[in-house]
């Protein structure tokens, strides 16, 4: 019996992009259902009743929630190459640490910068840049976060690349000037078809986010 795999997702979501990249890396066929986050489907509310958030992977009728957990599930279940998680327990622990760092730091800091102004905006902008500088330091001179092989942390961070233009435009800075090694890493990632075919268009993301902000301030 063939696996039935469904992904509840939104085109602009960096968290959804993670899952799509992982599925593409493993060559898993799936049905993707676009969610309107202002009018969430009954299926999403049923499958993720706790957080009511995307992405949700539904595998043979059973939901798996939270993108980092979903990526690990995909790697463990479809355990053929390429392996996304390192083989050594210590390296796996480090990969989970940096994925957790990304999840706790990047989006929340960006959102605070986006919704603030004046000195507060400048403070959050500096914080956002410092987070990316820390990730760049962690990358070091390695081709990918796990070394020579594209892996778990790369899958976790590369979807944010489609948001860099939005961060730069709202923050009035250039990622390439601030974090050149991180941009070089992103360009290496984009050489993978699984990444290039998944990432949302950066200008489309910006237009979408700018539209949301204009709506917020018009109320």
The crossing angle, in degrees rounded to 10, of helices 118-139 and 164-171 is: 140
- C-alpha 201/C-alpha 11 separation (Å) is 10
Residue 105 φ then ψ, to 5°: -105, -50
Beta bridge partners of 58: 6, 63
pLDDT at 1: 52
pLDDT digits (tens, 9 = 90+) for 26-65: 999 999 999 999 999 999 999 999 999 999 999 999 999 9
N- to C-terminal Cα separation, the chain: 52
Report d(CA 158, CA 186) in Å as an integer.
6
Between CA 50 and CA 35 the distance in angstroms is 17
Global confidence as pTM: 0.96
β pairing state of 56-59 and 5-9: antiparallel
Q: What whole-number distance in Å separates Cα of residue 215 and Cα of residue 11? A: 20
Q: Report the C-alpha gap between 57 and 86 in whole angstroms.
A: 22
The DSSP string of 172-188 is T--HHHH-HHHHHHHHH
Structure confidence by residue, pLDDT tens digits, 56-91: 999 999 999 999 999 999 999 999 999 999 999 999
pLDDT at 156: 98
Contact 86, 146 (CB under 8 A): yes
- Strand blocks (E) in 20-179: 31-34, 56-59, 62-65
Polymer length of the chain: 219
């Amino acid at each position: 019996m063939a696996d039935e795999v469904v992904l509840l997702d939104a085109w602009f979501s960096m968290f959804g992009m993670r899952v799509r990249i992982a599925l593409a890396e493993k060559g898993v066929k799936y049905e993707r259902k676009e969610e309107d986050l202002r009018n969430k489907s009954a299926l999403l509310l049923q499958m993720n009743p706790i957080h009511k958030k995307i992405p949700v992977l539904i595998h043979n009728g059973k939901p798996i929630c939270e993108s980092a957990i979903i990526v690990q599930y995909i790697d463990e279940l479809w355990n053929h190459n390429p392996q996304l998680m390192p083989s050594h327990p210590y390296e796996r622990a480090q990969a989970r640490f940096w994925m957790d760092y990304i999840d706790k730091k990047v989006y929340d800091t960006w959102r605070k910068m986006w919704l603030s102004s004046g000195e507060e905006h400048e403070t959050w902008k500096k914080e956002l840049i410092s987070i990316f500088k820390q990730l760049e330091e962690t990358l070091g001179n390695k081709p990918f976060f796990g070394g020579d092989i594209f892996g778990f942390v790369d899958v976790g961070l590369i979807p944010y690349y489609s948001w860099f233009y939005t961060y730069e435009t709202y923050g009035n800075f250039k990622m390439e000037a601030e974090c050149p090694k991180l941009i070089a890493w992103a360009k290496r990632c984009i050489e993978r078809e699984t990444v290039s075919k998944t990432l949302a268009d950066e200008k489309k993301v910006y237009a979408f986010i700018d539209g949301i902000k204009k709506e917020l301030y018009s109320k």
